[in-house]
């Protein structure tokens, strides 16, 4: 058996550098597959709790916003200018992005920064995705709605039926 193993290609998602609180973040659009999957899982957990299939406990209630924030951490691809309390640069990693989105506080005021960062990432990711979708639509042309596609699928059948009727009418006339 002769095979060739293809290299794993990185998934291309729209992204952009955005400034927040003196730092710059490379933020992906909301089409990022890992983000979408985490949001699906988050939604399923909420549905299970609402429908009584999963018990709501103090722990699950406490973890819900953290799970939500962790999903948005997935949209942070890199950063520049993030420093710790001593002013030393914090190297980007997915784990550090999760910590930044769930446990970050201002060392001077002790106020939480995570909620503000997640709100910022949410707004930017949605904006980035909307721009990418618009550019894609302009490049490819406006897509047809499901109704238009159904009409197109029916038109040939209607023509065939009509042409068969006219053939059978001609046969009767002869």
For residues 115 and 174, membership in a common domain is answered with: no
Give the DSSP letter string of 134-174: HHHHHHH-PPPPHHHHHHHHHHHHHHHHHHHHHHHHHHHH-
For residues 127 and 153, membership in a common domain is answered with: no
Q: Where are the beta strands (DSSP E) in the chain?
A: 15-20, 23-28, 76-80
For residues 106 and 36, membership in a common domain is answered with: yes
Q: Is the residue at 115 inside a domain?
A: yes
For residues 50 and 95, membership in a common domain is answered with: yes
For residues 94 and 28, membership in a common domain is answered with: yes
Three-state DSSP at 41 gives: helix
pLDDT value at position 117? 94
Q: At what angle do helices 58-73 and 94-103 cross, to 10 degrees?
A: 130
State how many domains the chain has.
2
Q: Is the residue at 6 inside a domain?
A: no
Q: Is the residue at 7 inside a domain?
A: no
For residues 120 and 163, membership in a common domain is answered with: no
Q: Is the residue at 9 inside a domain?
A: no
Domain that holds residue 169: 144-174
List the pLDDT tens digit at each of the 174 positions of the chain: 988 888 877 778 999 999 999 999 999 999 999 999 999 988 888 888 888 888 888 887 777 778 888 889 999 999 999 999 999 999 999 999 999 999 988 888 888 888 999 999 999 999 999 999 998 888 887 655 555 544 444 444 434 434 444 444 444 455
For residues 129 and 173, membership in a common domain is answered with: no
Q: Is the residue at 2 inside a domain?
A: no
pLDDT value at position 6? 83
Find the helix or strand (DSSP H, E) in which 42 lies. Answer: helix 33-50
Tell me: the pLDDT tens digits for 59-83? 877 777 788 888 899 999 999 999 9
């Amino acid at each position: 058996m002769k095979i060739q193993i293809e290299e794993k290609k990185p998934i291309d998602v729209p992204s952009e550098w955005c400034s927040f609180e003196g730092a710059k973040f490379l933020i992906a659009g909301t089409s990022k597959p890992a983000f979408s999957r985490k949001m699906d899982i988050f939604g399923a957990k909420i549905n299970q709790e609402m429908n009584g299939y999963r018990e709501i406990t103090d722990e699950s209630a406490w973890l819900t916003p953290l799970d939500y924030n962790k999903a948005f951490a997935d949209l942070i691809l890199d950063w520049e200018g993030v420093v710790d309390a001593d002013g030393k640069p914090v190297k980007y990693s997915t784990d550090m992005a999760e910590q930044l989105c769930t446990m970050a506080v201002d060392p001077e005021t002790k106020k939480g920064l995570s909620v503000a960062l997640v709100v910022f990432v949410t707004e930017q990711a949605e904006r980035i995705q909307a721009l990418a979708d618009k550019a894609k639509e302009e490049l490819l042309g406006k897509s047809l709605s499901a109704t238009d596609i159904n009409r197109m699928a029916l038109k040939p059948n209607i023509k065939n039926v009509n042409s068969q009727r006219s053939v059978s009418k001609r046969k009767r006339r002869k």
